[in-house]
A and B are shown apart, each in its own frame.
Chain A
Amino acid sequence: MESLFLQQTLNGLIIGSIYSLIAIGLTMIFGVMKISNFAHGDYSMVGAYTAVFLMAWVPGWMGWVGSIIAAAAVVGILGIVTERLIFRPLIGRWTDIDIIMVSIGLFILLENLAQLFFGATPQMISDPFKGATVHIGGVSTSVLRVFCFGFSCIAIGALQIFLNRSKLGVAIRATSQNRFAAQLMGVDINLIYTLTFWVGAALAGVAGVLYGTTFAVHPLMGAMPTLKAFVVTILGGMGNIRGAIFGGFILGIAESLGGNYLAMEYQHAIGFFIIILVLLLRPRGLFGAKEGT
């Protein structure tokens, strides 16, 4: 009984770390540009396909680690392209709702392009550790998942260091708190937009590789990460990065425990139940105290 609880908590932590990774980008983009990007999960889809193709070439753990780096690069570029070509021309000119509709259009476009080029058949990212598992004190998990968790935490940690220690990182936070004032400090706002999309998309791309090792890779797989990331973002407070990190772990654990103690079928509903509760009781999100003025 107790070990089942621990086991589910561990599973939740692992999937939660991936949710965090996806949600960080979504919330950063929202904070800086006030854009709700419904195509965000498709960055993960493209990241997952990057891994599928690369690992067909280079199998094993080298291919897997290479895929993570390649996904960050490829999806980072995709992020920059979408920002420059689609979002930047609209920001400040179109209303928020219009931009949301455009992002939904982008989501449909990317899904269909993926079907066209990659086909509709689901694929798998093969397990570079060949199904090896580890057991620690009554709980067990696959080596693969341990590595997924490790990579997520490294990426989250690196981002935190960047945002807190580097000049550009602090400028991203400043822009998200007050765009006008940031401009008056001499921040090139367009550079910050590009940088934010680049980093946010690259993280989602990495998360896609990790996500794709657990779930099937197919053209429509991006919708679920998008929805999960929105749950996390609302839970943590729109634009709040720390909120997104904690929110991801909270959602992962809640789903995992809920799926176990309630019913597996309700697992995905739990996140939306949480959204309703948060919006009713604390619409700024659990961590959204002041951010986003």
Chain B
Amino acid sequence: MLRVEEINVTYGKAVALMDVSLHLERGELVTLLGSNGAGKSTLLKCVSGIKPPIKGRTIFDGEEIQKLPSHKIVQRGIIHVPEGRAVFPDLTVEENLRMGAFCRKDENAVRKDMDFVFALLPRLQERINQSAGTLSGGEAQMLAIGRGLLAEPKLLMLDEPSLGLAPVLRDNIFAVIRQIYQEKDITILLVEQNARWALQVAARGYVLENGRIRLEDTGEKLAANPHVQRAYLGY
């Protein structure tokens, strides 16, 4: 479904990604591990067209997309839920969700997805007319995920959805992600600090270090890998 081929991404003279390749098959949940500054967010930005690569290709459903502007990529169903939530603070919860559906025309389908999101995240319905800036961290993260779902994603890229959340809320978010994956016909690329959990839910995983892919394997095998255990699982 998505194929990233030997991309390089730079910020000025600094190289953030170097010869990075990865692929996701339809319906997979794949995780991307890496320490701070490894280039995980940059990779997602590259796929979503915010930060185009200077070399290499990204191919989605058989077509090259690395030169497309971000709104064209969103229209193809690649939805990036950014790190740090990035909700629109002065829009209401409902307006935020509607922004998620910005590219969609079929009002009935949007309505249905809205109901799905409210069933999944009832807190959002309670706060529907509240401005997003007044939400707690956990609620804002749910809004960011809900907003992403309203875009009708084929490929959902989640960037550290549990970042900065208390354990209870974090488990809640994990349960929500699991449920989305089970109930929707969706492919997920998950960047997650909590490697233990990520390797449990993901069929496969990649380890990114200093802008390069260091390891690539099934979730189970990565969890058993001594390097991963030392660096990401805290053994």
Contact = CB atoms under 8 A, between A and B. Distances in A.
A267 interface: no
Interface in B39-84: 48, 50, 69-71, 74-75, 79-82
B128 interface: no
Contacts of B147: 185
A182 B69 CA distance: 13
Interface residues of A, number: 20
B203 interface: no
Interface stretch (B87-95, B113-121, B167-175, B180-188): B87-95
A173 B90 contact: yes
A293 interface: yes
A173 B88 contact: yes
Contact of B50 (A167, A171, A184): A184
Contacts of A260: none
Nearest to B98: A170
Contacts, number: 71
Contact of B86 (A173, A180, A290): A180
B19 to A, nearest CB: 26
Given A184-B80, A184-B82, A185-B147, A170 B95 contact: yes
B122 interface: no
Q: Please report whether the interface of chain A is mostly helix, strand, loop or mixed according to DSSP.
A: helix
Contacts of A171: 99, 102
A115 interface: no
Given A180-B50, A180-B82, A181-B82, A187 B90 contact: no
Interface in A249-293: 290-291, 293
B86 A187 contact: no
Contacts of B37: none
B100 interface: yes
B16 interface: no
Nearest to B45: A180
B73 to A, nearest CB: 8
Nearest to B148: A184
Contacts of A189: 70-71
B21 to A, nearest CB: 24
A180 B51 CA distance: 11
B89 A182 contact: no
Given A170-B98, A174-B99, A290-B133, A184 B89 contact: no
Interface string A36-48: 0000000000000
B195 interface: no
A183 B89 contact: no
B70 A184 contact: yes
B151 interface: yes
A178 B70 contact: no
A177 B99 contact: no
Given A185-B100, A189-B71, A293-B89, 4 more contacts: A174-B91, A174-B95, A180-B82, A181-B82
List the 4 closest A-B pairs by CB distance, nearest first: A186-B74, A186-B103, A181-B86, A188-B71
Interface of A: 167, 170-171, 173-174, 177-178, 180-189, 290-291, 293
